[in-house]
Amino acid sequence: MEIINNPNKSKWSEILKRPTQTVDDIEQTVNQIFNEVNQKGDEAIKKYTSYFDGISLAEMEVSQLEIKNAASFVSIELQKAIELAKHNIEAFHKAQKSSKIEIETTPGVLCWQEKRPIEKVGLYIPGGTAPLFSTVLMLAVPAQIAGCKEIVLCSPPNKEGSIASEILYAAQLCGVTKIIKVGGIQAIAGLTFGTETIPKVYKIFGPGNQFVTVAKQLATKHGIAIDMPAGPSELLVVADDSANAAYIASDLLSQAEHGTDSQVILVSTSKNIIEAVSKEIQVQIKKLPRQAIAEKAIAHSKLIYIENDAFALQLINEYGPEHFIICTKNESFYMNGISNAGSVFIGNYTPESAGDYASGTNHTLPTNGFSKAYSGVNLDSFLKSMTFQKISKEGLLNIGETIELMAEAEGLQAHKNAVSIRLKDLKQ
């Protein structure tokens, strides 16, 4: 990891640059696949599955027998772990339910807001180098709580033409209605346009690589909503001399092993901690099965010394990390001051892995600085807020003249007439 000492503010944007390709580099490929899927449906999906995943599939939808058999390939211990994680995720997301808001703004004018589920949602679950069955819980649990009618899950098949048993087990546990063996750009395209096998949905959720992220952004051009731009994983840790270097190194490596384009950063007011963490990373990385992946991610990651907490917080808010761990004596300073982060982890005994799996918070979070404007996935992500109003005769008499005056001032005579015709009857 590169060690940077007290960088000038003018260099921050360069130092904090993500190791990702630009949209322009990827968009041409995404457009090509989208166009082909739109025109040829399943035929194009199968073509690109064969090309990218190295498997030709006769049937893309996972059968009920495959789902039923999946449980036998998941150990009882792991089943119990998945169920405990599901319980905690359910508890946290059920607590996010809000009641109907109702108010009489003026006598006779009743306004209220209610929430309705998004009827059709698509969940993208990365397979690749690590089948993320935990993401099934993070997306399907709130979708089920929200009451979504169709929950369509897409995940890339392995070389045997199957989806990981853990993914299938978690999916049936959480009420997923259809599971499709498809990944990458073609999965997002299928959910966007619909094919013979893949239903068209109203909103697409889930993390993925840079190609999936750009594909989701392109889906919005075709009228499909997305949760957020969620690309390669990232973590920023802030630490001082009170922190444990071994713990910090383990957290940094836990994100580095996600993929070669992941990014991890340590910001510290202590040069001693930076040196200790650097040494710990070299020790711990050698014991990882995914050492090669972690090493490539670590190569473009940073250890940054900042002379005081105030500057450190400014730099962190400028970066807007997906995951943010606070390991400092003055943790309240960072808790109260952080404006831009997907999810925050506080103290030496709150590893980021807890949020990834079982604490209850959601791990589908904005990356690449999008935490400055986007929230992570939550219950409201699967709901729409709808407003209602009912106006009595008294109510229209109370606000009718206001509406007439405003409509006339804007030059919209028909708007005014819609009120005037009613007022005329009421005043007779």
The pair of three-digit structure tokens given for residue 394, joined into one six-digit string: 């008294």
In the three-class reduction of DSSP (H, G, I as helix; E, B as strand; rest coil), residue 63 is classed as coil
- Is the separation of the CB atoms in 351 and 254 below 8 Å? yes
Check: CB of residue 266 under 8 Å from CB of residue 295.
no
Question: Measuring CA to CA, which residue among 333, 343, 340 is closest to residue 376?
Answer: 343
Q: Is 202 annotated as a binding residue?
A: no
How is residue 306 written in tokens? 């900042």
Q: Is 222 annotated as a binding residue?
A: no
Please name the residue ranges forming H helices in 111-209: 133-146, 165-173, 184-193
- Say if residue 359 carries a ligand binding annotation: no
Q: How many whole angstroms separate alpha carbon 277 and alpha carbon 237?
A: 11
166 catalytic residue (yes or no)? no
Range list of β-strands (E), 148-306: 150-155, 178-181, 203-205, 225-226, 234-239, 263-268, 302-305
Q: Is 278 annotated as a binding residue?
A: no
Is residue 410 marked as binding? yes
Residue 169 among known ligand-binding residues: no
Catalytic residue among 322, 331, 394, 404: 322
Q: How many Å apart are CA 428 and CA 424, to the nearest integer?
A: 6
- Please tell me whether 318 is known to bind a ligand: no
| Terminal CA-CA length for the chain | 81
Q: Which of 93, 166, 323, 363 is catalytic?
A: 323
93 has binding-site annotation: no
b/e code 238-268 from CB counts within 10 Å (16+ = b): bbbeebbbebbbbbbbbbbbbbbbbbbbbbb
Is 323 a known active-site residue? yes
- Residue set of the binding site: 124, 186, 209, 233, 255, 258, 323, 356, 410, 415
- Can you say which residues are annotated as belonging to the binding site for substrate? 233, 255, 258, 323, 356, 410, 415
In the annotated binding site for Zn(2+), the residues are 255, 258, 356, 415
Residues with catalytic function: 322-323
Q: Where is the binding site for NAD(+), in residues?
A: 124, 186, 209
